[in-house]
């Protein structure tokens, strides 16, 4: 149970806060507070501003591990389209092999309106397990996005559904379902020649249920139901110190609550437990800098500091499982990045910590990771 609450908290942290694009990762600031190609995944209507581009992205992320993807934005029949392959699906089950990592995303936009469709599926059928212990896993996910600009506000609504089944023959069978609903709103205000403010708020609701049964014990069953909601308001400032240097500063807060219900059934007896978890963010501060040192060279850096209050209460199946816990914690992170432009090609690279502190292998003799995120963008206008 505690692992599941931690998992769902991590899931809420990862959403909207990370991107595969090297520029966003290099600055480390939530992309809802400024403009970048990645904004398309939050507000699909922004597809119209990033047309005739091809992308190849590679990244390593604490939530999803290694990820490789590609995409293309193009015009056809008077409309704007975007197709992306192998992007992350918003929810992944904790199966051994069948994971929802190979999503296809399709976008269409015209003027201030945009739509998106996400599809993912995976299947694993083991031929290597011992007789009577074969493993079959199947997962499926589908989602839709809608974004539009109205009275100066950028608004989006997203809904994703995922389902999966993992059958370990004669041992156990797991069935999972998840529904995620997300919304986002932002507005450009107080715009001057050098500055612009972006107040924004995001909302996320998650419903998840799991059933575990044991074929050799037909009356034994475990059920898990989890409901979570989070809301995160904030404001971001984009300020040009000069034509070559921009600073992005953001401050946000938020609240995340999760309710968990679990039950274990043995023959004709059912034991149940209830848990509640709350995380309050107050505040989260982000600061990013981007400097154009030459026509072909851009450097980026960013820092983030967050303060959290956690509260967990568990009414267990017996008194020994009861738990009341509250504590405060903080989180600090930093990012560095480089952008290289050669004609119609742009390379955005988030420099990995190892490379900065240990230097390349040719210098130090130590193995160092090259990049946490690397993107190649080609403009064919």
Can you give the residue ranges of every domain in the chain?
2-379
Going by pLDDT thresholds of 50, 70 and 90, the confidence category of residue 18 is very low
CA distances in angstroms from 244 to 142, 194, 239, 298, 299, listed in the order given? 42, 12, 11, 9, 11
pTM of the model: 0.84
Mean pLDDT of the chain: 84
Question: Which pLDDT belongs to residue 185?
Answer: 97
> For 143-180, how does the pLDDT look when each residue is reduced to its tens digit (9 = 90+)?
999 999 998 899 999 999 999 999 888 788 899 999 99
Q: CA-to-CA distance for 339 and 119, rounded, in angstroms? A: 31
Which has more confidence, 195 or 64?
A: 195
Question: Which pLDDT belongs to residue 157?
Answer: 97
Asked if residue 9 has pLDDT above 60, the reply is no
Which has more confidence, 235 or 133?
A: 235
Asked if residue 5 has pLDDT above 80, the reply is no
Question: Which pLDDT belongs to residue 192?
Answer: 92
Question: Which pLDDT belongs to residue 320?
Answer: 63
Residue 39, helix vs strand vs coil: helix
Greatest mean pLDDT among 46-60, 65-79, 186-200, 362-376 lies in 186-200
Question: Which pLDDT belongs to residue 45?
Answer: 95
> What number is the average pLDDT over the span 41-49?
94
Asked if residue 293 has pLDDT above 70, the reply is yes
> For 52-64, how does the pLDDT look when each residue is reduced to its tens digit (9 = 90+)?
999 998 876 655 5
> For 302-312, how does the pLDDT look when each residue is reduced to its tens digit (9 = 90+)?
999 999 999 98
Q: CA-to-CA distance for 275 and 242, rounded, in angstroms? A: 52
CA 269 from chain centre, in angstroms, equals 40
Q: Which one, of 192, 106, 184, lies nearest residue 143 by Cα?
A: 106
Question: Which pLDDT belongs to residue 290?
Answer: 94
Question: Which pLDDT belongs to residue 81?
Answer: 96
Asked if residue 361 has pLDDT above 50, the reply is no
> What number is the average pLDDT over the span 95-113?
88
Going by pLDDT thresholds of 50, 70 and 90, the confidence category of residue 7 is very low
DSSP code per residue over 218-287: EEEEEEEEEEEEEEEEEEEEEEESSSSEEEEEEEEEEEEEEEEEEEEEETTEEEEEEEEEEEEEEEEEEE
> For 119-148, how does the pLDDT look when each residue is reduced to its tens digit (9 = 90+)?
999 998 886 666 667 889 999 999 999 999
The answer to whether 302 and 287 are in contact (CB under 8 A) is yes
Question: Which pLDDT belongs to residue 85?
Answer: 92
């Amino acid at each position: 149970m505690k692992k599941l609450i931690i998992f769902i908290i991590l899931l809420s942290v990862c959403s909207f806060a990370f991107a595969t694009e090297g520029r966003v990762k290099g600055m480390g600031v939530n992309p809802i507070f400024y403009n970048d190609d990645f904004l398309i995944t939050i507000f699909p209507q922004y597809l119209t501003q990033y047309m005739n581009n091809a992308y190849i992205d590679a990244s390593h992320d604490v939530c999803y591990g290694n990820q490789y993807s590609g995409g293309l934005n193009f015009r056809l029949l008077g409309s704007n389209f975007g197709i992306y392959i192998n992007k992350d699906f918003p929810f992944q089950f904790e199966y051994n092999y069948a994971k929802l990592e190979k999503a296809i995303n399709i976008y269409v936009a015209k003027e201030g309106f945009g739509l998106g469709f996400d599809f993912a599926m995976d299947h694993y059928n083991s031929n290597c397990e011992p007789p009577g212990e074969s493993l079959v896993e199947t997962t499926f996910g589908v989602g839709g996005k809608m974004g539009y600009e109205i009275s100066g506000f950028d608004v989006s609504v997203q809904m994703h559904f995922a389902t999966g089944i993992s059958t370990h023959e004669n041992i156990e069978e797991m069935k999972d379902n998840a529904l995620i609903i997300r919304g986002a709103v932002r507005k450009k205000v107080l715009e001057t020649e050098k500055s612009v403010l972006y107040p924004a708020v995001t909302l996320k609701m998650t419903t998840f249920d799991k059933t575990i049964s044991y074929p050799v014990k037909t009356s034994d069953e475990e059920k898990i139901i989890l409901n979570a909601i989070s809301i995160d308001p904030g404001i971001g400032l984009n300020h040009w110190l000069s034509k070559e240097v921009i600073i992005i500063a953001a401050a946000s807060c938020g609240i995340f609550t999760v309710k968990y219900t679990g039950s274990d059934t043995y023959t004709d007896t059912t034991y149940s437990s209830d848990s509640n978890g709350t995380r309050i963010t107050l505040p989260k501060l982000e600061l990013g800098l981007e400097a154009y040192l030459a026509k072909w060279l851009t450097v980026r850096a960013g820092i983030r500091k967050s303060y959290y209050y956690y509260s967990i209460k568990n009414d267990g199946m017996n008194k020994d499982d009861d738990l009341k816990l509250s504590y405060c914690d903080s989180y600090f992170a930093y990012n560095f990045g480089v952008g290289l432009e050669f004609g119609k090609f742009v390379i955005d690279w988030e420099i990995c910590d190892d490379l900065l502190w240990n230097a390349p292998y040719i210098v130090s003799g130590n193995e160092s990771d090259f990049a946490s995120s690397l993107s190649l963008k080609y403009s064919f206008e």
